[in-house]
Amino acid sequence: MIRALKVVLLSLILSTATAVIAQNGSTSLPAEKTGETKTVAPAATADSEYVIGREDVLAVQVWREPELSRLVAVRPDGNISLPLVGEMTAAGKTPLELQKKLTELLGSYMTAPEVSVIVQDTRSQRFSIIGQVMRPGTYPLSKPMTVLDALALAGGFRDFARTEKMFILRTNADGTRQRIPISYKKIVSVKGTNQNVELQVRDTLVVP
């Protein structure tokens, strides 16, 4: 009698299991762990038109080659140094151009290298604002920015700011320095829109 009940119970269990399997459509087991995690190499920086400059920090990644992957800063001479590749010029190239060049050079040492270049820190694309503003300092210049934009970013004027005596210190391509006077009153007037100068890389806006 007991043996018969066991047979009946076993049949019920098997029937239930079969029904569940049929409903789910598969009996797939968890994927086997292989001990290796594949990290897809990220694409170059989203701004494909960005031009790498001196002091920028680059993340160079070579898939499955951790000893070749590293953060490198572009030196004042515009070059970077990497294992196998050695010295090469980075300044003046876009991340995609540098990525292609590294892929080409590393192809001499390995089969089908997968390389990515990301601008981790755009230190070359910066301007400074000093003097009587709420938050003086150095700010990124990753998009077009005018004097008014810079003042807003720095939190506006302090109480005793001499807003008619502002000026921009600019270093020209030939190394000479230029002083550009700025009047806040003229900026906000209808006829003074040309005073709202667009800032350039390494400009310093002085608010006395």
* CB 54 within 8 Å of CB 76: yes
Residues 104-123, mean pLDDT to the nearest whole number: 94
Residue 173 has pLDDT above 90, yes or no: no
pLDDT band at 47 (very low <50, low <70, confident <90, very high): low
Q: Residue 43: its pLDDT value, please?
A: 38
pLDDT digits (tens, 9 = 90+) for 65-104: 999 999 999 999 999 999 999 999 999 999 999 999 999 9
Between 200 and 195, residue with greater pLDDT: 200
Q: Which residues face 182 on adjacent strands?
A: 166
* CB 117 within 8 Å of CB 70: no
Domain architecture of the chain: domains with CATH: 57-121 (3.30.1950.10), 126-207 (3.10.560.10)
Long-range contacts for 151-158 (Cβ within 8 Å, ≥24 apart)? 151/205, 151/207, 153/129, 154/129, 157/132, 157/133, 157/184, 157/207, 158/132, 158/133, 158/134
* CA–CA separation, 27 and 29 (whole Å): 6
* CA–CA separation, 80 and 55 (whole Å): 10
Q: Which value, to the nearest 10 degrees, does the dihedral of the CA atoms of residues 129, 150, 189, 183 take?
A: 10
Mean pLDDT of the chain: 81
Between 25 and 47, residue with greater pLDDT: 47
Residue 115 has pLDDT above 50, yes or no: yes
